[in-house]
Amino acid sequence: MTGSMRARDVVTAGRLEVHGDLSTDRLIGDYNDCGAHISGDVHARLFYGEHHHFTIGGALSAHAVIGRPRLEIAPHQP
Closest among 16, 9, 46 to 31, alpha carbons compared: 16
Residues near 36 by Cβ (< 8 Å), separated by ≥ 6? 12, 15, 16, 17, 18, 29, 52, 53, 54, 55
* The pLDDT value given to residue 74: 74
Q: Domain residue spans in the chain? A: 5-73
Residue-wise pLDDT for 6-48, tens only, equals: 999 999 998 999 999 999 999 999 887 789 999 999 999 999 9
* The pLDDT value given to residue 75: 66
